[in-house]
């Protein structure tokens, strides 16, 4: 029996999207100047709060943070469990530290945006935001960097595949596809969502991939640790193999330190200067990864030999 596409989409959305409930902010009309303002976030004279209509009939909210010294603009697509109220502090820090203008938006069904979250809606959402950047703020492709985190890599690559002259794309903990997050498969299903592994082949600009590749702290379950390392490394390799450009440190030359990273224990965003960076690995990354895998397999075999006799 053939399932209706709406049913498949609804099931996928149930596993892919977790908007904060209740939202962490709201919007209202400012009585003084008549502009839209956000309640629940600090008042910021450099930030515009925007309401945009999408081609699918939803009304989404976006924050545009201006930096007078910026030459580039970042269009930020967030993960599946946050909204703009939670991300304002991060946006403000990125704007200053990277010297960029920053546009962040909430997907349909997130924060104060109307509608329900779905793959199709996120595509319409980012298209509406890009159109706003182009028409209202005069941002050209050549001065735009797309940043997609987690599920945000889906709409990011959707738009990047259509804009051949982008300055760059940043994929932060990107997914290969919705199904590949939970299953190790090497082929596509018609009901899969966010088929990034196919779309990245159409991206013509430099791509920077930021992905978790292991934790320094020894995990209690070595098997779990090995699986995490292999999955993360596999995602990174697949994205890079399918991409048009190799990952290079000079891919985005106008981005300035400090760099942004995710704290391994609680997932919070932190900033670090070059002086705080880790000492270089004495072995190349690929060799170090292979050595780590071999060590994990040896420990697991020893543990199995001593404690698990069948």
pLDDT band, residue 230 (cuts 50/70/90): very low
* Tokens linked to 77: 């697509």
Cα distance between residue 216 and residue 307, in whole Å: 26
- Rounded to 10°, the helix 153-160/119-136 angle is 60
Domains identified in the chain, total number: 1
Residue 70 belongs to a domain: yes
Q: What is the pLDDT of residues 63-112, one digit of tens each?
A: 999 999 999 999 999 999 999 999 999 999 999 999 999 999 999 999 99
Q: Does the pLDDT at position 255 exceed 50?
A: no
User: 64: burial class by Cβ within 10 Å (0-12, 13-18, 19+)?
Assistant: buried
Can you give the length of the chain in residues?
A: 310
The most confident of 7-11, 59-63, 262-266, by mean pLDDT: 59-63
- Across the range 56-67, mean pLDDT stands at 98
CATH assignment at residue 161: 3.40.50.1820
Please give the torsion angle defined by the CA atoms of residues 142, 150, 238 and 183, in that order, rounded to the nearest 10 degrees: -150
> Is the distance from CB of 47 to CB of 65 less than 8 angstroms?
yes
Residue 37 belongs to a domain: yes
Q: Does the pLDDT at position 1 exceed 70?
A: no
Q: Does the pLDDT at position 228 exceed 50?
A: no
- Across the range 159-184, mean pLDDT stands at 88
Residue 219 belongs to a domain: no
Distances (CA, A) of 125 to 77, 104, 106: 10, 11, 8
Domain hosting 89: range is 5-210+248-254
Residue 223 belongs to a domain: no
* Tokens linked to 103: 């546009």
pTM: 0.69
Residue 306 belongs to a domain: no
pLDDT band, residue 233 (cuts 50/70/90): very low
Cα distance between residue 252 and residue 256, in whole Å: 9
State the DSSP code for 107. P
Cα distance between residue 41 and residue 27, in whole Å: 10
Residue 276 belongs to a domain: no
Give the 3-state DSSP-derived string for 182-230, with helices as H, strands as E and coil as C.
CCCCCCCCCCCCCCHHHHHHHCCCCEEEECCCCCCCCCCCHHHHHHHHH
Q: What is the pLDDT of residues 110-149, one digit of tens each?
A: 999 999 999 999 999 999 999 999 999 999 999 999 999 9
Task: Compute CA 228 distance to the chain's CA centroid, rounded to the nearest angstrom.
Answer: 19
- pLDDT at position 289: 66
């Amino acid at each position: 029996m053939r399932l209706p596409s709406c049913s498949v989409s609804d099931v996928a959305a149930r596993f892919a999207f977790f908007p904060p409930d209740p939202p962490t902010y709201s919007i209202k009309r400012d009585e003084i100047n008549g502009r839209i303002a956000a309640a629940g976030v600090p008042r910021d004279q450099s930030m515009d709060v925007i309401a945009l209509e999408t081609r699918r009939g939803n009304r989404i909210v976006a924050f545009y943070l201006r930096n007078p010294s910026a030459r580039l603009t970042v269009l930020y697509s967030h993960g599946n469990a946050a909204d703009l109220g939670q991300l304002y502090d991060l946006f403000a820090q990125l704007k200053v530290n990277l010297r960029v203008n920053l546009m962040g938006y909430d997907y349909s069904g997130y924060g104060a945006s109307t509608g329900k979250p779905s793959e199709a809606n996120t595509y319409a959402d980012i298209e509406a935001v890009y159109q706003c950047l182009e028409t209202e703020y005069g941002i050209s492709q050549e001065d735009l960097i797309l940043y997609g985190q987690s599920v945000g890599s889906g709409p990011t690559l959707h738009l990047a595949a259509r804009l051949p002259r982008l300055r760059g794309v940043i994929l932060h903990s990107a997914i290969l596809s919705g199904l590949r997050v939970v299953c190790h498969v090497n082929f596509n299903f018609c009901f899969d969502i966010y088929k990034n592994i196919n779309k990245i082949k159409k991206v013509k600009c430099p791509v920077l991939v930021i992905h978790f590749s292991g934790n320094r702290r020894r995990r209690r379950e070595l098997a779990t640790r090995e699986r995490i390392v292999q999955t993360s490394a596999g995602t990174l390799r697949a994205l890079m193999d399918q991409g048009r450009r190799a990952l290079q440190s000079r891919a985005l030359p106008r981005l300035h330190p400090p760099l942004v990273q995710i704290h391994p224990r609680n997932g919070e965003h932190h900033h670090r200067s070059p002086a705080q960076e880790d000492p270089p690995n004495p072995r190349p990354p690929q060799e170090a990864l292979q050595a780590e895998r071999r060590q994990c397999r040896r420990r697991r075999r020893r543990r199995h030999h001593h404690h698990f006799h069948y």
